Amino acid sequence: MSKPKIVSGLTDGYIVRPDPADPRLSERVTGVDETGGKVETAVVMERPLTIFLNSQEVVTAMTIGDYPEYLALGFLLNQNMLKPDDVVTGVDYDDDLAVAVVRTERTTNYEQKMKKKVQTSGCGQGTVFGDLMEVIENAKLPHTELRTSWLYTLTHKINTTPSLYLEAGAIHGCVLAQEDRPLVYMEDVGRHNAVDKIAGWMFQEKISPADKIFYTTGRLTSEMVIKTVRMGIPILVSRSGFTAWGVELARKAGLTLIGRARGKRFVALSGEDRIKFDQDLRYVEEESAKHRRKGAVDRD
């Protein structure tokens, strides 16, 4: 497996963070603004990646194109085509062909599985293969705690981290965190790709999910809840809102589900028992106008 480039922060604790300066991830285009005057602006890239599991072509995903190996691994894990205890003998990525092949010791054949698909509402038409509900019923998430002081520090750090989002908008972000520290911050045009890249990274690096927090810029839909539970992470936080089924599944699985986390405010609709309200709210700032404005640009 070719080692993807890891962009580490020196002082802020990130193991993987966005690289908005990477010329492959966005491009400058010209157009006109409301005055009719010519403007130049940055837009994010969107390119195909075809994922194979051994000899079987599984899907072509549209992605910004960073970390294709993690995306392939995480996609297959989150579709339950790759098992947590599978031995991966290699991940081959071919940049010209835009193909990533995950090879396992176990012989795989998902022909039947791929015939049955459910389109989910992950802001589009997410595809979930049949048996994902089992993960909710069998969930055993650990009884960790989430201090509100961590939550405020964490979201402030994430919001002020240089990112493609701040550069070009129209992109989703997901962050794997521990206490008040963001560890891995992935972005993608498809928010499920961002999740999958983190899942792939965790698999590759053998990271324990038990003491982690998962943060997403996207909505808390059923699909996002299922993926978080599958990853074994007990706490899911978003600046966006909830769907009813997302809440229902989170409650069934015992997942702590926090939404509308912006500035001082948040709402928890499941797993409230993990939350320790240790933060004196008089010392929390409302979200700055800059982030409010940027956050406002993209509803999906």
Whether 161 contacts 143, CB under 8 Å: no
Under rule CB under 8 A, residue 205 binds its own copies: no
As a whole number of angstroms, the distance between CA 43 and CA 288 comes to: 24
Under rule CB under 8 A, residue 293 binds its own copies: yes
Under rule CB under 8 A, residue 159 binds its own copies: no
Which CB sits closer to its own copies, 154 or 207?
A: 154
CA 67 to chain centroid, in Å, comes to 13
Alpha helices in 79-181 (DSSP H): 111-115, 133-137, 148-160, 164-168
Q: How far is the CB of 95 from its own copies (least distance, A)?
A: 17
Under rule CB under 8 A, residue 239 binds its own copies: yes
Report the site for its own copies in 50-109 (rule: CB under 8 A).
59-63
Which CB sits closer to its own copies, 207 or 253?
A: 253
What phi, psi does 5 have (nearest 5°)?
-70, 125
Q: How many residues bind its own copies (CB under 8 A)?
A: 83
Q: How far is the CB of 260 from its own copies (least distance, A)?
A: 6
Report the site for its own copies in 100-129 (rule: CB under 8 A).
117-127
Under rule CB under 8 A, residue 187 binds its own copies: no
Which CB sits closer to its own copies, 208 or 288?
A: 288
Residue span binding its own copies (CB under 8 A) among the ranges 11-19, 138-146, 229-237, 255-263? 255-263
Helices 191-205, 68-78: inter-axial angle, 10-degree rounding: 90
- The binder of its own copies chosen from 7, 19, 22, 47 (CB under 8 A): 47
* Of the candidates 216, 199, 188, 191, the residue with the CA atom closest to the CA atom of residue 74: 199
As a whole number of angstroms, the distance between CA 133 and CA 123 comes to: 19
Under rule CB under 8 A, residue 265 binds its own copies: yes
Q: Where are the beta strands (DSSP E) in 95-218?
A: 99-104, 117-120, 126-129, 146-147, 172-178, 181-188, 213-216
Under rule CB under 8 A, residue 245 binds its own copies: yes
Site map 2..41 versus its own copies, x via CB under 8 A? ------------------------xx-xxxxxxxx--x-x
Which CB sits closer to its own copies, 161 or 193?
A: 193
CA 238 to chain centroid, in Å, comes to 11
DSSP annotation of 218 reads: S
